[in-house]
Amino acid sequence: MFYDEIKSLIENKLSPRVFRFNSEFYGLYYGQVNNKKHIKRLMFTVDLNLESIHYAIRNKINLIISLHGLTKEPIANFNQLLINKLTLLSKYPLLVYILNSSFIAAEGGISDTLMESLYLKLEKPLSIKNDRSEKVPIGRICLPNSYSRVEKALTIENLLKRIKSNFNTDKILFVGESKSEINRICIVGTEAVDLKYLKKALKNGCDCFISGNFDHNIANYAKDTGLNLIGISLYNCNTIALKKLHNLLSLEFPRDDFYFFEAKNPIQVFA
């Protein structure tokens, strides 16, 4: 496969460029390339940590597709950890492509994966304008789906059990009454809750909101407005979504080699 074939597929369909949010980075992040460069070995990863870069070099990867970059902010200075990563990357001529929030909004991306994994039914996308005044379908507004014959109504407690089981997680933050019934759920696959997403969810008649972790102010807002709020680590969800992307591209280019670097969530819970 050629680089321009992969780039076109990603930017126009799988993780569209138009879905990138505000000033975050999207696209070719490291390396120089011409569009007809042949890509034989491609690797997917959630993060560009030292372990994933070592893995790419050992396996002579030509292109890394990562959800996150080396840093969240623009590089203002070079600390030793960043220097170590760049030194490793320079040892082998590879390319790095970053998806960021474009893959949250994409069809089959993180918000969709979160919805599907929790056995919820899509009602409509939740769109938020970025700084270019373009509507980005960052979230999903969902309706409860019957999970078992025993469940007559979906409650917060039922939903928390689904999350714990389906994402193999022990840390779930929530605001609300565990026995309260849920009628409409808003899902946004971002690592941290943004107040504007909660306000938009309430305007759309949602009584539950699921996203990444939240702070005290967000929790108070949810409590005051009566919105049930659930915050989870999205690391496992990110991994599942990227694996789906890995499988799709490997079917599209069956003659090439595809790798997936799967690291454990660096955040651990003491039980």
Q: pTM for the complete prediction?
A: 0.90
CATH superfamily of the domain spanning 3-103+237-260: NIF3 (NGG1p interacting factor 3)-like (3.40.1390.30)
Residues 6+ apart with CB under 8 A from 229: 173, 174, 175, 176, 193, 198, 208, 209, 214, 218, 219, 222
Domain over 104-234 is classified CATH 3.40.1390.30:
yes
State the pLDDT at residue 62: 94
241 pLDDT higher than 90: yes
State the pLDDT at residue 182: 94
How confident is the prediction for the chain on average, in pLDDT? Answer: 90
Q: Percent of the chain, pLDDT > 70?
A: 94
271 pLDDT higher than 80: no
State the pLDDT at residue 34: 79
State the pLDDT at residue 160: 94
State the pLDDT at residue 77: 65
State the pLDDT at residue 188: 97
Same-fold call for 3-103+237-260 versus 104-234: yes
The predicted-structure confidence for 168-223, as pLDDT tens digits, reads as follows 887 899 999 999 999 999 999 998 889 999 999 999 999 999 999 899 999 999 99
Which has the higher per-residue pLDDT, 149 or 168? 168
Residue ranges of domains in the chain: 3-103+237-260, 104-234
Which has the higher per-residue pLDDT, 101 or 78? 101
